[in-house]
Every structure is written in C-alpha cells, then in structure tokens.
Amino acid sequence: MSLKNQVVVLGCGVGGLTFASTLAKQAKGSASVTVIERKSRFQFPPSYTWVVMGWREPKQVQRDLTPLARKKVKIINEAVIKIDLSAKRVATSSSQIAYDYLVVALGAEHVPGEIPGFEDYAHQFYDLVSALKFREALNGFAGNTVSVGVSRTPFKCPAAPYEMSLLLDDNFRKQGKKVEVHMFTPEAQALPATGPVIGKQVERMLATRGIKYHPKKKLVKVARDSIVFEDGEEINHDLLVAVPPHRCPSVVVDAGLTDSSGWVPVNPNTLATKVEDVYAIGDVSAIETPHGHMPFLPKAGVFAQGQAEILANNIAHSITGKGERKAWDGSGTCFLEVSKSESAFLRGTFLSKPPRLEFHPPRRKWHFDKIALEKFWMTYRL
C-alpha cells in the first residue's frame, strides 16, 4: 500500500460526488478522502427542465450530501478560496487542507453580467433558483413570442437549450396557446459535437414544429423585449430564456492550471493536468477532440461521471496496488426531451477518429431511461 493516501476532491457535483463515492468504495480503509463543497446538497441539473415545466419540485431533484460520511468521506462544507500547488495545500475560509492527490471538479461558473441587460431582462434555467423564477414567469405568461438561446460557447449540456425550446413549444400547444418560439445560438449548427448529420436531424425536429432557428448569432445585448446580435440583427419577443456565459472558476485560474482555452487542459485518458498528482474532471477541464466537429469535447455530466469513475479506479490502484489502471475513452450518452413523455437519445464515442455517433428519434423508452437515471442519482449515487 502507498504512503500517499490523502485525496482531496474540490467540488461535489456530478464529477466530484461520483469520484468520492467510487474511490471510498474501491480503496476502502486505505484512502483518506476529503471533499470540499460550498453547497450542502447535491442537485441534479438534467431535471431542471422538468422543474421549469412544473413536472418536478425542487426537493425531488436534490439530496443532502451527509450520507457520504457513511462511506468515510469527510465533507467540508465551505468554499475553496485558494489552491496552492507548490505547497500541495488547499485553503477554505477556516482551514488549510494538505493533499497527496488533488482532484479538481469545480465545474463552470455562470457570468450573466458579461452581456449587457442579461441580468435585468433574461431568464435562465442553469441553476435551481433561476429555473423556479422562470417557471413563475411562464405561469403568468400571456405573450405571443418566446426566445430561447445560447449566449456563448462553451456551455454545459449542448442539448439543454434545444430541449427547452422543444418542451416550451410542446407545452404551449397543449395549453392551446399560440406562441412563436425562436431558438438562437452562436453555434454554426445544432449540437456541433455530434457532427452535421445528427445536427440536421435536430434542426429538422425544430423546423417540423415551426420553431424558428437562428444559428451563428452571437448575443451582444439584451433589452426589455428584444435581443441584439453582433451582426446587428434584432429579435423582438415577450419572454427570453438563455444559457448564460460560462467561465472557469477563478480559484482554478488563479492557481495557474488553465491555458489559452480558459479551462484546464488534461490528458484525455488519465485526466492528469500538467502538475503531478493533480487531476481535473468534468466541466472545468478542456479536452481536445481528434476530429473536426468541435475543437473541444462538450461539457456534460455523462463525461464528468465517466471520467470520475476511471480516475477513482486509477487512484485506488495507486494507493492499494490492487486491480489495474484504466483509460477513459470519451464515450457518452445524452437525452433530448421533446415532450412530457418522449425523448430522443444520442450515444457516441467522442474521442475516436472519426467519432462513432448514433441518434435515436423520440420514443417513450428514452424518456423512461432518463427517469431511471434521475432515480439512480437521487436514490443510489450517495
């Protein structure tokens, strides 16, 4: 057994939680696992669209983190304020925590203030509080036009804004409301990471429902009832919901872990950063793709989870000497909900050249699979 066994995990979202619980199981009794997380609850973002539509209540999509302690994981419920890579130490407001292995899983920060008017006039659904506010706005909505969009790339869950436009459109129809839905994005096509063929299939789904799609549109200004793009075009609407700009958490940038991408470059197979014994998983990381669809892998929970499982296995192996090392292969799946009871489904290996990708049109089966995934996170993951 190695003398190096102090593992510190920064962040307990999808990646951090998966890593900590998998490592605690695989290196039982041999590793000391400490998680630093500012929230006391784990929240499941894939269900936020259901919260917006009123199909879930907040308590159904979050869980207290305390059961992790039963797995002998120590949780420090504070914000990370400094990562000192040379001293191998992390600071919170009340303590300094030394590590042998550091796993950075701090996700992405939202910065709506980067776009003038966003905070005053745009709704968003990328956190639970904002999703609930948007739900309230929808409840009293009596307008004719809604804009749904993406303000900047990269953003997490490439399918989420498309899903939101399809769900809103479906819901307005079922309520007998005639509402025109616009979908805008700076991307050149829908879901660019999946390539042009699948992108066209998704765009056809929008077109079939009459959703007006505006690709290659970079949002520069939000006003009370309109948005303005970089090319000067304007869309007027009665309600706007948009994905806010994302950036790497400043504590990670200040530590010197990022590169010109703005995110943490890692070895795709091992998740190692340029600093020995320091790893980054999930949204905080930047992984270059070997194909031309997109320069970097999209940010998604399914990748954070897969990376976390591989990394936990490998660190458990380093500590216990048992089992064998594994390499992450970039595979992932994604649901694209289109109504209350149907979802499309995507599956692929995103790091192979060419990528192997499948698109499965909407069916009830995929919707039930997403419910099963939610149940796993809400019931079994901890």
Q: Which residues bind ligand FAD (CB under 6 A)?
A: 11-16, 36-39, 45-46, 48-49, 79-80, 105-107, 125-126, 156-157, 160, 249, 251, 282-284, 299-302, 304, 334-335
What distance in Å separates the CA atoms of residue 48 and residue 135, rounded to the nearest whole number?
10
Collect contacts of 39-44 with beta carbons under 8 A, ≥24 apart.
Answer: 39/12, 39/65, 39/77, 40/64, 40/65, 40/77, 41/65, 42/12, 42/13, 42/17, 42/377, 42/381, 42/382, 43/13, 43/128, 44/374, 44/377, 44/378
- Asked if residue 166 lies in contact with residue 241, where contact means CB atoms within 8 angstroms, the answer is no
Alpha helix (H) ranges present in 103-259? 118-121, 128-139, 160-174, 195-208, 250-254
Residue (160 or 266) nearer to ligand FAD, CB: 160
Fill in the amino acid letter for 155.
F
Residue (12 or 227) nearer to ligand FAD, CB: 12
CB of 37 to ligand FAD, least distance (A): 5
| Crossing angle between the packed helical segments 301-320 and 14-26, to the nearest 10 degrees | 30
Q: Which residues pair with 292 in a beta bridge?
A: none
Residue (183 or 229) nearer to ligand FAD, CB: 183
Fill in the amino acid letter for 348.
G
CB of 318 to ligand FAD, least distance (A): 21
Residue (239 or 308) nearer to ligand FAD, CB: 308
Residue (229 or 336) nearer to ligand FAD, CB: 336
- Asked if residue 114 lies in contact with residue 120, where contact means CB atoms within 8 angstroms, the answer is no
CB of 108 to ligand FAD, least distance (A): 7
Residue (6 or 43) nearer to ligand FAD, CB: 43
Residue (122 or 229) nearer to ligand FAD, CB: 122
239-243 and 145-150 beta bridge pairing: parallel
In the β-sheet with 96-98, what is the strand arrangement from edge to edge?
Answer: 80-84, 89-92, 96-98
What distance in Å separates the CA atoms of residue 161 and residue 126, rounded to the nearest whole number?
10
What distance in Å separates the CA atoms of residue 352 and residue 18, rounded to the nearest whole number?
24
CB of 2 to ligand FAD, least distance (A): 26
Residue (35 or 319) nearer to ligand FAD, CB: 35
Residue (77 or 226) nearer to ligand FAD, CB: 77
Q: Which residue is nearest to ligand FAD (CB)?
A: 13
